Amino acid sequence: MAGSSLPSAPPQVSATGNPPRSYFGALAVLSTLFFMWGFITCLNDVIIPHLKVVFDLNYAQAMMIQFAFFTAYFVVSLPSSQIVRRVGYKNGIIIGLVVVGLGCLAFYPAAAVRSYAIFLLALFILASGITLLQVAANPFVAILGKPETASARLTLTQALNSLGTTLAPFFGSALILATVAKSADELKAMAPAAREAYRLAEAASVQKPYLGLAITLFILAGAIAWSKLPKISASAEAAGHEGETAGPKSAFGYRHLMLGAVAIFVYVGGEVAIGSFLVNYLKEPAIAGLPEKVGATYLPYYWGGAMVGRFLGTPLLRYFRPGRVLALFACIACILVVTTMATSGSVAMWSVLAIGLFNSIMFPTIFTLAIARLGKHTSQGSGILCMAIVGGALVPVIQGAIADRIGIHHCFIIPALCYLYIFWYGIKGHVPRKGQGAVAAST
């Protein structure tokens, strides 16, 4: 699998190690992409309770939405890297936006025939395009500047991703959850024809919002086609890897990378699982008793907390060791999860919402710690980390199965275990073995 992940040639930087002035424009373009895929990904948290009613799903079945979405990361990461390697970053981004737009368009026929299978297929297509965008953008941002500030730089651009996740619930609540969802008992009391008509109308409510998203994405793809992104120089890679020490023959030989892939897996899984359950969790009488439409308006507290945390975390990552900051945030997140399970009412509600603040720096910090000191294997390592995002497909399904057995209140034990592992990775797991890694110039 060596050389089969991300494009291997990083952009050149100046002799001082700082990105040339033109790269700030590139970061602005990339930040727009972070916003869009954050916005679209977070809409899953709105359509999960919506489709749960439309198709009369249990929790495990409803979590197949996240399974279909995040499985794309595992399936499509390596093919995406080959696309980017062949056509370059810019064209790869354009293709990714077009694929995301096609996935949004597929919601229209899925709603028209009220087919859950077509909805899942549409989500897979949509996520495949986002995977292509992620494969190109994350390492691109990480290498546009000094290696020691890579975590801070990626955290800052990820703040725009969090802005998208913060605004998406307002959009979804207003347009997708515009009508008050009927309870299971209310649906059973309806005549079969009326029940079917109601579910068709509810399914159709996603058509216009996703059609609008598709148009926006196609326009953005056209705008990027006219924009100027830095060209990738193959000579930069050769220069960057001169003087490397002996090490593993592939990225799979780096212990801190593979442990980092597990950390990405459990982080994305835990974050997505919490967000996926929030609307239904806040609907519980013992927690807040909020209707779905009202509960959806609280999602921005969770995702907006991540945005605030990323802005605040950027200076922390510049002045303190990223591993220590990661461990601290993971420890607090775990405490908050335990608190929400052990309490009820407003304490339980605000404890689970506050987790978003401490999720903030985890992904970019894990990502940059895991690819540190990989030298010529950095591109392959980045591909491995992108594949690990499949945790967002599996962990929510596991939590859904547990929720069906023991109830939604205590199924959050799964994210708690995820944060415990991330705590360990920040303390010890991210440290490379002796003799593994490149010289400082190439880290």
Domain boundaries, the chain: 22-230+245-431
Helices (H), 372-412: 378-387, 391-406
Alpha carbon of 331 to those of 341, 357, 425: distances in Å? 16, 13, 11
Cα–Cα distance, 222 to 202 (Å, whole number): 33
Architecture of domain 22-230+245-431 in CATH? Up-down Bundle (1.20)
Phi-psi region of 58 (alpha: psi -120 to 50; beta: other; left: phi over 0): beta
- Which pLDDT score, from 0 to 100, does residue 178 have? 54
Segment-wise mean pLDDT, segments of 10 residues, the chain, 443 residues: 37 42 65 86 81 82 87 88 78 91 92 88 94 78 67 74 80 64 59 66 78 92 79 41 59 92 96 91 93 84 86 83 94 97 96 94 91 76 86 91 93 96 96 61 31
- Which pLDDT score, from 0 to 100, does residue 199 have? 63
Cα–Cα distance, 8 to 11 (Å, whole number): 10
pLDDT tens digits for range 387-423: 999 998 899 989 999 999 999 999 999 999 999 999 9
Q: What's the CA angle centered on 94, arms 88 and 98, to 5 degrees? A: 140
Q: What's the CA angle centered on 310, arms 307 and 314, to 5 degrees? A: 155
Compute CA 68 distance to the chain's CA centroid, rounded to the nearest angstrom: 14
Q: Which of 137, 129, 119, 151 is nearest to 52 (CA)?
A: 119
- Which pLDDT score, from 0 to 100, does residue 85 have? 73
Cα–Cα distance, 365 to 264 (Å, whole number): 10
For tokens 């069906």, what's the residue? 404
Taking the CA atoms of residue 187, residue 188, residue 191 and residue 193 in that order, the dihedral angle to the nearest 10 degrees is 60
Tokens of 65: 């939405």
439 DSSP 8-state letter:
-
Strand ranges inside 265-381, DSSP E: none
Taking the CA atoms of residue 334, residue 335, residue 341 and residue 342 in that order, the dihedral angle to the nearest 10 degrees is 160
pTM of full prediction above 0.75: no
Cα–Cα distance, 37 to 326 (Å, whole number): 24
Which one-letter amino acid corresponds to residue 11? Answer: P
For tokens 């050149």, what's the residue? 12
204 DSSP 8-state letter:
H
Counted residue by residue, the chain has a size of 443
The phi and psi torsions of 5 (rounded to 5 degrees) equal: -110, -100
Cα–Cα distance, 385 to 256 (Å, whole number): 12
Cα–Cα distance, 280 to 298 (Å, whole number): 12
Which one-letter amino acid corresponds to residue 66? Answer: Q
- Which pLDDT score, from 0 to 100, does residue 236 have? 43
Cα–Cα distance, 168 to 175 (Å, whole number): 11
- Which pLDDT score, from 0 to 100, does residue 246 have? 56
Centre a 10 Å sphere on the Cβ of residue 141 and count the other Cβ atoms it contains: 25
Centre a 10 Å sphere on the Cβ of residue 292 and count the other Cβ atoms it contains: 20
**Over the Cα atoms of the chain, what is R_g?**
22
